[in-house]
Structure 1
Amino acid sequence: MIELIETDGYRRQTLREIGQALAIEPAHILYYFGSREELLQQTIEFWDAQSFQDLLDPHHDSGLDLFVAAVRRNCEAPGMGHLFLSFAADAIDPTHSAHAFFKRRVKQIHADLSQAVRQEQEQGRISLNIDSALTARQLMALADGLQLQSLISLKESAIDDLARSVDRLRSRTV
């Protein structure tokens, strides 16, 4: 199914095409998920939850490094990245089925990144003059923009650009 999304975007697949990709009847999708949109939303939520499990690795010594690794994971799966960013844009509408999920997710990532910046400030890795909440919003915006660019054309530099921004943030120690 993700390969379909990668080649055609997420709006073009019919329930029949998704069923064929999953080797199940479209009626089974409706039975278990209620709609095509619900299947896609559950796919996003599973991917997101799995990211935390996959990224729990002793190599990530900070929350900022974990954030870069999570963005790398998304960029390495362009079909999921496309689905995720498209759904996030649609979920701006408060009536969208994924609105609450994305609202919680944004709030949680902002809190986690703010905490990661404060932690590195306490360790002397980031200047105390840096506003952790503002920096968290900026890193989130940068990551979203870079992921979008990587889906359009600039595949080679998204992760490097994000990692360099985190390194630059760390080099502002005072």
Structure 2
Amino acid sequence: MPTASVEKSRSTGRPPTEHAVDIRQQIMEAAIDLFANKGYAATPMRAIAERVGVNPAMIHYYFGSKEALLHAALEESLEPLAEAVAVMQKQQDAPLQSIISLIIGAFSRKPSLPVLMTREVLLPGGAVQEHFMKHFAPRLGGALPQLLQREQKNGRLRDDLDPRLVAQTLLGLCAFPFISRSLAEPVLGIPYGKDGIREIEQNIMNLLHRGFSA
């Protein structure tokens, strides 16, 4: 369910048309990419508007402020992942493969997201730390160890491992390939097409099965 800031931005102005929804989506995607690569503080609204090909006033119309745009873009990216994790929590069985596929799938659809989160959530002074901690940390970071603990009870994950540390390792393994893409692709020759992402996912599975599996 979208959080308050998204609902607020959606309720401003006239009811959204299909074109308006498309423009709004383009603005959020451009914002994620620019915030990830240049940083939130160093990205003016004008740069986002130029990327999309709209007037800066259009961004203010849809979102009200740059901070509200950042919150909306983060929520639009993370909400589907949080909802999918919630579904997994209700299921009797959520194998490690499904968890990894879920995370890799989210990052491959929004490849700038891990970079944005590193800049603006993990690093000191990140622009969206407080917002993330309030709205998403319990639903993502808090839920993942519980899923892994269930894997231990099902006998598929070594019971001598701390599920919190496994969660930290798992997130790092899934996020770093996207964070390091600008070097990994030209220097290591790692492909990032559909087949390449599938190979990255399988490599993570192989590492975890051989190191963590019971």
TM-score scaled by length of structure 1: 0.71
1:148 aligns with 2:179: yes
Contact map agreement 1:81 1:147 (CA 8 A) in 2: yes
Q: How big is the shift at 1:51?
A: 2.8
Equivalent position of 2:80 in the other structure:
50
Q: 1:79-125 deviations in whole A, cap 9, x for unaligned?
A: x3214422432334665441123335345433322112211111111
Q: How big is the shift at 1:49?
A: 0.4
Note the residue ranges of structure 1 that are not aligned, 5 or more in a row: none
Equivalent position of 1:127 in the other structure:
158
Q: Percent identity?
A: 20
1:109 aligns with 2:140: yes
Note the residue ranges of structure 2 that are not aligned, 5 or more in a row: 1-25
| Number of aligned residues | 170
1:73 aligns with 2:115: no
Aligned-residue Cα RMSD (Å) equals: 3.7
Contact map agreement 1:72 1:159 (CA 8 A) in 2: yes
Q: How big is the shift at 1:75?
A: 3.8
Contact map agreement 2:31 2:73 (CA 8 A) in 1: no
Equivalent position of 2:208 in the other structure:
166
Contact map agreement 1:63 1:112 (CA 8 A) in 2: no
Distance in 2 of aligned mates of 1:8 and 1:45: 14
Quickly say closer, same or farther: Cα 1:66–1:101, change in 2 above 3 A: farther
Q: How big is the shift at 1:16?
A: 4.3
Secondary structure at the aligned position of 1:125 is classed as: coil
Equivalent position of 2:149 in the other structure:
118
Letter in 2 for 1:142: L
Distance in 2 of aligned mates of 1:106 and 1:8: 20
Q: Which of 151-160 and 17-26 deviates more?
A: 17-26
TM-score scaled by length of structure 2: 0.60
Distance in 2 of aligned mates of 1:32 and 1:134: 40
Letter in 1 for 2:179: L
Quickly say closer, same or farther: Cα 1:164–1:7, change in 2 above 3 A: farther
